[in-house]
Amino acid sequence: METTPHDRELLLREMHHRVKNNLQMVASLLNLQVAHASTKSPTEVLQASQDRISSMSLLHEKLCASDNFKTLDIKNYVESIAEHLVVSQNRSRKILRCDLDVKEFSADVLVPLGLIVNEILSNSLKHGRSEDYESIIEIKGTNKDNHYHISIRDNGGGFEFDQGIRKDALGLKLVRGLANQIGATFNYSNLNGSNFGFSIPIVKSAQ
């Protein structure tokens, strides 16, 4: 079907809208990173910022490659983020297991969601190590009861809230803020490793 001038205009407006929103998101992330960078090396700060921006870039790369420019399968997106982080952080010895149900979400939901997954996975890749047995990270996604439930767990030693996941830590602030943005609930437990979970209401967020 031939694209009309009106269709092209709508597509161009949509593209400008997304670019503007993403640039604002990048600026906000960099401002937050600068405010929390006093105890980290420049390399750590740059790596963290690069991974966050890459998670956003991956989404739009996949949207442009698909027939549908507005929605994308969450399974495809989350698995791509996980693969990217394993390579970028040189964690090839980590065993990564992904088991996610297929579900389409809009880009407005997937951008914050991708950043949430990026923060949690980065934490597990860096700190979810175990010296006594193989280091395993599991990602599960289940479409149930009008919610999409995602859990990310590792078999490391876990950590205390006042240490690895302090209430003022940037990663935790981002996860909570982004979860609120898409109406998702977030929880964490420290049993037999680190266990992160969040639920996204499908009725409110899916397009």
- pLDDT of 92 above 90: no
* Cβ neighbours of residue 188 closer than 8 Å, sequence gap 6 or more: 165, 194, 195, 196, 197
DSSP string, 169-193: -HHHHHHHHHHHHTT-EEEEE-SSS
Whether 144 and 111 have beta carbons less than 8 Å apart is answered as no
Please write the tens of the pLDDT for every residue from 142-197. Answer: 999 999 999 999 887 665 544 444 555 667 778 888 899 899 999 888 877 888 99
- Which pLDDT band, with edges at 50, 70 and 90, does 116 fall under? very high
In terms of phi and psi (left: phi > 0; alpha: psi -120 to 50; beta: otherwise), the region of 197 is beta
pTM score: 0.78
- Residue for token pair 């937050």: 32
Spell out the residues 6+ positions from residue 198 whose beta carbon is closer than 8 angstroms to its own. 116, 149, 150, 175, 179, 184, 185, 186, 187
Pairwise CA distance, residues 63 & 53, whole Å: 16
Q: Tell me: the pLDDT tens digits for 49-77? A: 788 888 888 887 888 787 777 788 999 99
pLDDT of residue 51: 84
Instruction: Pick the closest to residue 148 from 121, 189, 179 (CA basis).
Output: 179
Beta strands 195-201 and 185-189, pairing class: antiparallel
Cβ–Cβ < 8 Å for 69, 17 = no
pLDDT tens readout for residues 129-145: 555 557 788 999 999 99
Q: Is the pLDDT of residue 207 over 70?
A: no
Instruction: Report residue 165: phi and psi, to 5°.
Output: -130, 55
Report the CATH number at residue 69. 3.30.565.10
Say if residue 102's pLDDT is above 70. yes
The total number of structural domains in the chain stands at 1
* Domain encompassing residue 112: 5-205
Strand partners for 197 = 151, 187
Can you give the pLDDT at residue 147? 95
**Predicted pLDDT at 80:** 92
Give the whole-number percent of the chain exceeding pLDDT 70. 67
Query: Which residues lie closer than 8 Å to 57 by C-beta, 6 or more apart?
Result: none
Paired tokens of 87: 């390579």
Rounded CA-CA distance 88/68 in Å is 28
Measured CA to CA, the distance from residue 81 to residue 59 in angstroms comes to 9
pLDDT digits (tens, 9 = 90+) for 11-49: 566 665 566 666 666 666 666 666 666 666 777 777 777
Decide: 136 and 95 in contact? Cβ < 8 Å. Answer: yes
Q: Percent of the chain beyond pLDDT 90?
A: 25
User: Which tokens sit at 178?
Assistant: 């982004």
Of 162, 153, 182, 96, give the one whose Cα is nearest residue 172. Answer: 162
